[in-house]
Amino acid sequence: MSATRGSPNPAAAWLRRIETLSGPAYRRIADALEQAVAEGELQAGDQVPAQREVARLVGIDFTTVTRAYALARERGLIEGATGRGTFIRLQTIEDEAGLVDLSMNLPPPPAGLNLAALLRETTGAILARTDPATLMAYHPGAGSLAQRTAGATWLAPVLGEVAPERVVVASGAQTALSALLDHLTAPGDTIIAEAFAYPGLLATAARRGLKVVACLLDGEGLEPEALSRLVAQQRPRLICVTPTFQNPTAATMSLARREAVVGVARAAGVTIIEDDAYGLLPADPLPALTSLWPEGVFHVATTAKTLSPGLRLAYVVAPPGRAEGFASALHAIAQMPAPVMAAVVTHWIRDGVASRVLAGVREEAVARRALAAELLPAAVGGAESLHVWLPRATATPAAKDRGLALVGAEAFRAPGVVGEGLRISLGAAAKRATLGRALTELRNLSRLPLS
């Protein structure tokens, strides 16, 4: 059996490994594929040759290759896509550790859509109409006019009409938040954050030498009276807030609460950073804080939570006249977002694909949230939320034994804050049935309040 018969095929280079393996031919092919994945020669999404092509290259019969591919599929190495071929399968935490991931906050696969097909179609269209040399060159730090206009269009449901020159394109929300803290604060400054807050914000503030003061949360997020007292006592440089599906408590501010929080900040002249990762997920989204006070709010919105985690693009909407100053600070951290990624998102927004993907994510999120409501009635979170919050719950050693990856309140506590809870992420499990089994196991754990 030879893996070199016929013309060279780069996609089949891994077949050379069968020469050094022992055992039946079908098993050697599967073992060679497994080795290539383990050593990084092949990675998730790579296409492997058709079975007849492998039979030709190796010089064996088709049925042997069919058996080899069946074994590789049993091992979770490959998966087929009707009409497109066979690809290396993404190895998830569920595969590698036997765990169901309830800790990573990702959007679920959009219902009724094939992201791989959409990406293939989009990248083909981009390359067909764009000079590759131009596409792969350095681009303006704030984003091109087309990209900034697309961002303004995308955010219109929560911001209303926004001038493109107020929009800055960043390579993800974490990068944007880091640049904002660099731009708006100096070491030793005080910022107000939610009592349970996004860990990336807390870590960045600590590295920058900022004093983080925790504000009390209730069922709608930041509590206005507590915020007012802290602003008067601490004279903070910034107030940092997530108004929709707050991370981790999943609280959403009503319009009245948004107006109250903005009123406190405006009266004191304190700038707000609005981390609105989830603002577009509700079918009827509420106005963003920046639409209530454009002059005092920096709005950050990522595509990683509304479209796909692989599209790590964020739009920062700055107060009028302040976008270019922020863009300079951003440039010092990340010169520009990846041009191909920015081009894909811009194309999707222009052609309506982004709206279709968002609708598919929302549809699946609603189904998963309903499942969580049935199995975990104490869970807090809106109908379209990607995560729910279990107040007072704690992860027990039994959780890992039962195959669950969990994240507790300790990851989110601002300095000086006490209290327990579990953030249960609903989107990372590959299938809804897998999520259902995981939530059932979680429900059966001790020390878990159910009502």
Give 253's pLDDT tier (boundaries 50, 70, 90): very high
**In 10 A of CB 133, how many CB atoms?**
7
Query: Which tens digit of pLDDT belongs to each residue from 61-105?
Result: 998 999 999 888 888 888 876 667 888 887 654 444 557 889 989
Question: pLDDT value at position 196?
Answer: 98
Q: How far is CA 173 from CA 1, 5, 194, 428, in A?
A: 52, 50, 17, 19
DSSP per-residue letters across 30-90: HHHHHHHHHTTSS-TTPEEPPHHHHHHHHT--HHHHHHHHHHHHHTTSEEEETTTEEEEPP
Nearest one of 262, 248, 157 to 194, comparing CA atoms = 248
- Can you point out the beta strands (E) in 146-267? 167-170, 190-194, 211-215, 217-218, 221-222, 238-241
Q: What angle do CA 34, 39, 40 make, to 5 degrees?
A: 100
Query: Which tens digit of pLDDT belongs to each residue from 316-359?
Result: 999 999 999 999 999 988 888 888 899 999 999 999 999 999 99
Question: Alpha-carbon distance 7 to 389, whole Å?
Answer: 57
Question: Alpha-carbon distance 271 to 231, whole Å?
Answer: 11
Question: pLDDT value at position 7?
Answer: 44
Nearest one of 99, 97, 12 to 59, comparing CA atoms = 12
Which domains are seen in the chain, by residue range?
A: 10-91 (1.10.10.10), 96-113+355-443 (3.90.1150.10), 118-352 (3.40.640.10)
Query: Which tens digit of pLDDT belongs to each residue from 355-380?
Result: 999 999 999 999 999 999 999 999 99
Out of 54-58, 202-206, 224-228, 262-266, least confident range:
54-58
